[in-house]
Structure 1
């Protein structure tokens, strides 16, 4: 049974301050929870129906708290429209950022991306395209926001997400001598540009794009062209869509 105190605690993890204090985050639903249980993520609490717990005994670690609950109880702590069969609380992953280790990788830097759904989708895209490291500016959305976690669809267990002051990180990264890419309306056509298998792809804020503070570190300006050219079109692309297009072309050229 899910006690009122436990319900209160689970709901409190919707707040960033409480998540940070406890170094925990919440995941909901069979697919997401199963992926995280099968990964390196450490589990603190599992709240599931008797049917789910019976069917997934092999996934459940022996050192976590397991609470059998009914759907009505799970609904009280769920952020989803339809209550899932399982909700789990996991330990936040703490991986130290070593810039020297980025020397042979293609990485993503996110400049003030505010929407949790966009951030989660970009983590999922990075996982799909084999990008293992994302660096977020310190004012990006929180990777452990429940909406972000749901949007990653488990990719958070395979992609390392770090937060850093933009200038501090980019100043250090520039010393690696690798290309730093960003998308602009006056950039070179993405499909005509020779792209490196190593370097940093910078994606900007949903409304403002890449900030002036970050732009000074970019040495390769890219442009995603609309089709057909020179005809009226949307003003811009969603940042997660633009990330998908950009990463796809990088991987196509360096397959």
Structure 2
């Protein structure tokens, strides 16, 4: 089935928040991300791809009953948000996790407090997936978990980790405050010997950091160290890089507990 102009406009519209909210769908592009979605339990609404991609990836779509559209290179240029347009685009139904369910899992979680950059959010999703986190909690002011740039930066990990929209008060009402750790430059230095008996790790934006209301509520702060030193060699650290350092520490700490 060839891709029509109406379907082209519809897929493009999902790049805007109001249409993602209206249809409760999102768009993913790129071979790796799309194949991960097609192999996941996400509900796939449609696939649009070049004839070449469809020919070589028949195995990825054969188990799906959704519409599959053959698109020209020009149509893929119109659909794509990338500088180098992809050969495949997948439209899928948004899938949000449940906060109570995530809190019962014996896996760590990241809470993102006002992390506005979609590239950073996508990177953190990928990091969380890599280090075996149970999910990502998206606080107010954080980029939409299904923004095209978030999905792209996650490199397919959006298909493998739960996303939940919540806020500070809701989380504090349901979670044990002693299991929440704020990650802040003014906190204690993380090191291989640091005990991390926490369930939820709160990350703020690079510009504003964690909201002051968090610090008034919770006493436990941890500082991302650089080379094992607490010396601040830069004013701030990219939040995606910080998440990677924290994920590494948490993973190693939990690994030691299993020995």
Question: Normalization by structure 2: what TM-score?
Answer: 0.90
Aligned residues: 252
In structure 1, distance between residues paired with 2:223 and 2:99: 29
Out of 125, 128, 134, the residue aligned to residue 126 of structure 1 is: 128
1:156 aligns with 2:161: no
Distance change in 2, residues 1:105/1:178 (3 Å): farther
* Larger CA deviation: 94-103 vs 241-250: 94-103
Give 1:202-213 correspondences, 5 Å limit. Answer: 202-213=202-213
Q: Distance in 2 between matches of 1:107 and 1:33?
A: 25
> Which runs of no fewer than 5 residues in structure 1 stay unpaired?
none
1:38 is matched with which residue? 39
Per the alignment, residue 78 of structure 1 pairs with 80
The equivalent of 2:93 in structure 1 is 91
For 1:3 and 1:108, locate their aligned partners in 2 and report how far apart those are by CA, in whole Å. Answer: 41
Alpha-carbon contact 1:183-1:223 (below 8 Å) kept? yes
Higher mean C-alpha deviation, range 12-21 or range 116-125: 12-21
Is structure 2 residue 243 aligned with structure 1 residue 236? no
Distance 1:94 1:225 in 2: 33
Q: Distance in 2 between matches of 1:100 and 1:89?
A: 26
Task: Name the SS of the counterpart of 1:98 in structure 2.
Answer: helix
Q: Give the C-alpha shift of residue 102 in structure 1.
A: 3.2
Aligned twin of 2:60: 59
Counterparts of 1:231 and 1:97, CA distance in 2? 36
Is contact 1:106-1:199 (8 Å) kept?
yes
- Once the two structures are TM-superposed, the CA of residue 216 in structure 1 deviates from its matched residue by 3.1
Contact 2:107 2:132 in 1 (8 A): no
Task: Work out which of the residue numbers 145, 148, 160 in structure 2 matches 1:146.
Answer: 148
For the Cα contact (< 8 Å) 2:102–2:135, is it kept in 1? no
Deviation at 1:250, TM superposition (A): 1.3
Q: Could you report, residue by residue, the CA deviation over 1:138-188 in whole angstroms, capped at 9, with x for unpaired residues? A: 3210011100000111111111010112222123213xx642111223311
The correspondence for 1:173, drawn from 164, 167, 175, is 175
Gaps of 5+ in 2: none
Shift in Å, 1:57? 1.5
Match in the other structure for 2:49: 48
1:14 pairs with 2:15: yes
| 1:248 CA drift (Å) | 0.4
- Please, what is the CA RMSD of the aligned residues? 1.9
Q: 1:62 to 1:244 in 2, by over 3 A?
A: closer
Q: What residue is the counterpart of 2:4 in the other structure? A: 3
Instruction: Please report how far the alpha carbon of residue 21 of structure 1 lies from its aligned counterpart in structure 2 after TM superposition.
Output: 1.2
- Conserved? CA contact 1:180–1:219, under 8 Å: no
**TM-score, normalised to structure 1's length?**
0.92
